[in-house]
Amino acid sequence: MTPQAVNLVPFVSVDHMMKIVTEIGVEEVLAHLCDYLEEDFKRWELFDKTPRVASHSVSGVIELMPTSDGDVYGFKYVNGHPQNTTVGLQTVTAFGMLSDVTTGYPLMLSEMTILTALRTAATSVLAAKYLAPTGSKTMAMIGNGSQSEFQALAFKKILGITSLRLYDIDDNAARKCAANLAGRGFDIVICDSKEKAVEGAEIITTVTADKQLATILTDNMVGAGVHINAIGGDCPGKTELHKDILMRSDIFVEYTPQTRIEGEIQQLAHDHPVVELWQVIKGDIPGRRGSQQLTIFDSVGFAIEDFSALRYLRDQLDRTGHFENLDMLADPDDPRDLFGMVMRSVQTFA
Ligand SMILES: NC(=O)c1ccc[n+]([C@@H]2O[C@H](COP(=O)([O-])OP(=O)(O)OC[C@H]3O[C@@H](n4cnc5c(N)ncnc54)[C@H](O)[C@@H]3O)[C@@H](O)[C@H]2O)c1
């Protein structure tokens, strides 16, 4: 018997996601995601919030990230394995789901490796909209792996960044990033040191992958007035900024209890003052207050951002048709006769 529609769960595969992104346009998707994120940051208080559930190992971490706005529940499964690229695997892969809170029935299942890169870039630029110096044109990007092009395009589309200064310890990554962004409206310089990369940059994005307390930026590299978009320090024992930079900055975070465990601020005292981004977006606390202020978005990635991204994706399904229905939920004629349904199928196939 064909299951009723409610038991068929729309599934967005990697192939579907690539079609959606290329059909709508990557920059358009980033702009729409930024709008969806901004809406959800404005209603931040009504969401369920918990630090993500992380299972650490010597090689990386596997995390579950749940939240709910009371009507819809969402979660993401994501990993972080910095050594994966040496064996031809990605550092970060992900998938996620939305469900109906009233029935608990899934509403959509999706790949989220591509969607995570898009939502991370959209979140970064949303923060920068409130925190970066007005009229910023130049961004240094240290770490030129999977996330990097998405970051660059989001900053161009929403903030008007047209000059990029790239640095990666692996020249191939920097060349790959420059080649992927060629013809997309950037003036790109590949630098041979991180010190050169940050020269003249109003925004510094650190998006490296290394499972250690790394020091990608030292205090002397960062002048007054700069905005730092710190993406890669997102696990206990995994950071990118020297503590001295943190001590002279205004630090903005997603969800403080999670960032205290995972973010750059794991290097600071547990009561070191930070501001949650939603408070700035709602207008409760000012973002950038002047041209000399050093601001840091200490990004670790929070469940509500994935929820916003999945919410946006779900709104694109009927329009694009890029999904397939999965026969994922059992559908017995009598909802209490699951056993009978299984046995009747044996008779049908016998
Ligand atoms: N904050 C968030 O929401 C969020 C979301 C996704 C990924 N991340 C993090 O962002 C980081 C990058 O992710 P990715 O998918 O692009 O990884 P990736 O492995 O594809 O790329 C990382 C790049 O960093 C470079 N790198 C490593 N150490 C470096 C150093 N000391 N100096 C300069 N470059 C260096 C590597 O050579 C590589 O090219 C990871 O740490 C990941 O966990 C954070």
Residue 1 pLDDT: 60
pLDDT, tens digit, for every residue of 101-155? 999 999 999 999 999 999 999 999 999 999 999 999 999 999 999 999 999 999 9
Q: CA 239, CA 219: separation in Å to the nearest integer?
A: 14
pLDDT, tens digit, for every residue of 229-238? 999 999 999 9
Residue 213 pLDDT: 85
Q: CA 236, CA 233: separation in Å to the nearest integer?
A: 8
Q: What is the dihedral sign for C-alpha 219, 148, 165, 193?
A: positive
Task: Give the residue carrying structure tokens 């695997």.
Answer: 89
Residue 15 pLDDT: 98
Instruction: Specify the residue with its C-alpha closest to ligand 1, atom 30.
Output: 169
Quick one: which atom of ligand 1 is closest to the CA of 147? 16
Pick the catalytic residue: 168, 234, 298, 306? 234
Whether 188 and 182 have beta carbons less than 8 Å apart is answered as yes
* Low-confidence stretches of the chain (pLDDT beneath 50): none
Note if the pTM is more than 0.95: yes
Q: What is the dihedral sign for C-alpha 128, 129, 133, 135?
A: positive
Among 91, 171, 238, 265, the mutation site with the greatest number of ligand 1 atoms within 8 A of its Cβ is: 91
Residue 258 pLDDT: 98
Burial class (CB in 10 A: 0-12, 13-18, 19+), 16: buried
Q: Does the annotation mark 234 as catalytic?
A: yes
Residue 212 pLDDT: 82
Domains in the chain: ranges and CATH: 5-114+304-349 (3.30.1780.10), 130-301 (3.40.50.720)
Instruction: Specify the residue with its C-alpha closest to ligand 1, atom 37.
Output: 170
Residue 310 pLDDT: 98
- Å from CA of 50 to ligand 1 middle: 24
